[in-house]
Amino acid sequence: MINLIEEVENKIQSILNELNIQVDNVKVVECNRAELGQYQYNGVMALAKKYGYTSQELAQLVCDKLKQDELIKDANVAGVGFVNITFNNSALINQLNRHKEEVDKICTPKGHKIFIDYGGPNVAKTLHVGHLRSADIGEGLKRLARKLGYEVISDVHFGDWGRQMGMVIAGIEERMPDLPFFDENYKGEYPTISPVSSEDLEKIYPLANIKAKEDEEFLNKCRKITYELQNGREGYYKLWKLFVAESMRPVMKTYDFLNVSFDLYEGESTCNELIAPMVKDLIDRKVAYESQGAVVIDVAKDDDKVEVPPFLVLKSDGAAMYSTTDMATILSRQRRFEPNEYWYVADNRQSLHFLQLFRAVKKAQYVKDDTQLIHFAFGTMNGKDGKPFKTRDGGVMSALTLIDNVKTEIRNKMSNGGENDEEICDIISSATLKFADLSNNRETDFIFDIDKFCALEGKTGPYILYTTVRANSIIKKSQLTNVDKFELLDIDNKAYIDVILNAIKAPMVLQKAFEQKALNIICDYLFVLSNSFNNFYSQTKILTESDKKKRDSYLKLCYIVSKINEELLDILAIKVPDRM
C-alpha cells in the first residue's frame, strides 16, 4: 500500500499528464514554510516554460485540481510557482495509523548478512573522548540495520597484536626486568596475575612510544619482541595474555555505560594462526611477492587518480601489522560467516588503508565478487585548535573523565533523592553523551566542546528523554489501561495536528537514515517530534479534558510519541528512564 505522500505524487502526475505534460518523477517534499502548507511540490517551475505556461499559471492549474481531492484540505501557489499542500486531518491520521506497516515496508527480506567491525579499542591505550564515536556510530548502524531486517554480526576487533604490544612488553621489562616472562630459559610456572594495572599500562605505552621515537635501539628491540610474541615465545605470550585482559577492564566498563555490546570480542591476534598459511597461499598463487624485504600485493589500478601504494602483507622484519591482521581476519570471518557485506566503522584517516585492503582481498579472491566491503568513515573529534586528538603521547581527556563530568552535572540537576537514583543518573548521562556525539554529521570533523557534551537543555539527549518520560507519566497518571487501543480523532487543535504531522514521518526518517547511514537524521527528527509534542503538552489540558473522546485521543497521541521516541532511541542505543 502506498503512503500519503506517494499518493499525492501520483495524483500530481495524473494532473500533469492530463495537461499533456510528461513527467516521470514527481517529488513532494516537506514544506519549508510551515505557515503556507505541510508539503510542497516544486516541479512546475521546471516544466512551465517548456509547455508554454508561466510557472504561476501551471501551479494554479495543479492546485485547482488538487483541491478537489478528498485527501487535501488546501493547495495554493506561492512565490514563483511553489505548490503548497495541506492535507485533511483524517488523511494524516490514517497515515499515522499505518506506522507499523510503513516500517515493515522498508524492511529487507531475511537472509542478508552484514558483518560490522567497529570500536577497535587498543590495548594499553585508554579510551579518550574521540573513541566514543566509533562505538556510538557503530552500535547505532548495527541496530538500524537490524531494525530494517538485516542479520548483523558485530565484532569489537581489539587492537592487541601490532607493534604496540612489543612496546608495552619492552616498557614493562624496563620497569620490572626480573619478571620471569623475560627470561628465555625460564622453565617454571608463570604468574597468573598481571604485574601491571590498566592505569600502569596507560602510562607505560605512551612512555615507550616516546622512547621509541628517540631511541633507535629501543625501537628495534620493540620490533624484535613483537616478532617473537607473534611467533610464539612463551614468556611474552603469557605476559601479553595477562595485560590484555587487564587492559580491557576499563574499556568494557565504558562500553557497558554506552550501551554498546558485540557478538564477538575478538582481536587482531585472533587470526594469528591463519597468517602463515595465508602468506604462503598468497605467494604460491603469485598474488603477493617480495619487495624491499617485505611481502606486498599490488593494488594500484590504471585509472587511479592517486598513486595507491602496495598493500603490505608482511613487514620486512617478518612481523604482522594491521594490514596483515585485517586481511587474515576477513579470511577468518569469511570461513565462519560468509556475510554479504562487510562494514568497517573507522575514522576517515584510514580511507586509503581500507581501499587497499578491499582491493587486496578481492584480488586474492578471499571474498566473492559480489561481496560488498564498505568503509563507513567518520570525522575526527578535534581539539579547540581544530586538530585531531593524538593519543600516543597522551594529553587528551579520557572517556571515563568525560563520563564523570556528565554524571556530576546530572546528579546536581536531579531533584530529590530516591531509589534507583544512580541507575537513572547513568541512563541520563549516557544519553547526554551519545546524543551529543550522534547529532553531528558522521562524515565531518567537529570540535570537542565539553560544555556541549554535558549540556542538559535544548537539543540534547535529556530533552528527548524528558519528553518521553513526560508522555509516559501522563498515561500512567490517567490510570487507563488500553491506551494503545484508543482512537485518534480529528480534533480542531493545531498543536495536536502538528504532532501527528511529525509523527507520520518516522518511517521515512528510518529509511533516509539507513540510506545515508546517517544517525544525525534520527537525532534531528527526535528533536522536532519532541518539540512539537512539548508544544502540544504545554497548551493542551489532557487529563482534565471533559470530553472523554478528546481526552482519549490526546492520550493516544502521548502513547504514539512515546513509542516512536523509544523506538528511535533504541536504535541510538539510548535507554529511557522511568522518571527524571
Partner RNA sequence: GCGCCUGUAGCUCAGCUGGAAGAGCAACGCCCUUCUAAGGCGUGUGUCAGGGGUUCGAAUCCCUUCAGGCGUACCA
Site for RNA in 284-343 (CB under 7 A): 291-294, 296, 305-307, 309-310, 312, 315-317, 319, 321-323
The Cα 269–Cα 244 span in angstroms is: 11
Instruction: Go through the chain and tell me how many residues it has.
Output: 580
Q: Which of residues 514-533 bind RNA (CB under 7 A)?
A: 515, 518, 520-521, 524, 527, 531
Residue 476 carries which side chain, given as an amino acid letter?
A: K
Q: Which of 197, 261, 348, 511 binds RNA (CB under 7 A)?
A: 348
Main-chain dihedrals φ then ψ at residue 346, nearest 5 degrees: -150, 160
452 interacts with RNA by CB under 7 A: yes
217 interacts with RNA by CB under 7 A: no
DSSP 173-228: HHH-TTSGGG-TT--SPPPSS-SS-HHHHHHHHHHHHHHHHH-HHHHHHHHHHHHH
Nearer to RNA, 49 or 175 (CB): 49
462 interacts with RNA by CB under 7 A: yes
223 interacts with RNA by CB under 7 A: yes
Q: Which of 535, 563, 566, 570 binds RNA (CB under 7 A)?
A: 535
Beta bridge partners of 86: 74
Cα-Cα-Cα-Cα torsion 380, 386, 390, 395, nearest 10 degrees, comes to: -130
The Cα 263–Cα 253 span in angstroms is: 16
264 interacts with RNA by CB under 7 A: no
Q: Which three cell numbers stand for residue 556?
A: 493516544
Per-residue x/- mask for RNA, residues 94 to 133, rule CB under 7 A?
--------------------------x-x-----------
Per-residue x/- mask for RNA, residues 145 to 164, rule CB under 7 A?
--------------x--xxx
Nearer to RNA, 38 or 95 (CB): 38
The Cα 143–Cα 490 span in angstroms is: 35
Nearer to RNA, 36 or 400 (CB): 36
Beta bridge partners of 29: 40
CB of 252 to RNA, least distance (A): 19
The Cα 298–Cα 288 span in angstroms is: 7
Q: Which of residues 162-181 bind RNA (CB under 7 A)?
A: 162-164
37 interacts with RNA by CB under 7 A: yes
The Cα 480–Cα 556 span in angstroms is: 11
CB of 280 to RNA, least distance (A): 18
508 interacts with RNA by CB under 7 A: no
The Cα 506–Cα 508 span in angstroms is: 5
410 interacts with RNA by CB under 7 A: yes
458 interacts with RNA by CB under 7 A: yes
Nearer to RNA, 261 or 382 (CB): 382
CB of 399 to RNA, least distance (A): 17
The Cα 163–Cα 79 span in angstroms is: 64
Q: Which three cell numbers stand for residue 214?
A: 628517540
Q: Give buried/exposed letters for 472-495 (b at 16+ CB in 10 A, else e).
A: bebbeebeeeebeebebbebebee
Scanning 146-154, 362-370, 445-453, 560-568 for contacts with RNA by CB under 7 A, the matching segment is 445-453
Q: Which of 60, 247, 439, 502 binds RNA (CB under 7 A)?
A: 439
Helices assigned H by DSSP within 338-419: 351-363, 399-413
204 interacts with RNA by CB under 7 A: no
359 interacts with RNA by CB under 7 A: no
398 interacts with RNA by CB under 7 A: no
Q: Which of residues 42-101 bind RNA (CB under 7 A)?
A: 42-43, 45-46, 49, 55, 78-80, 82, 84
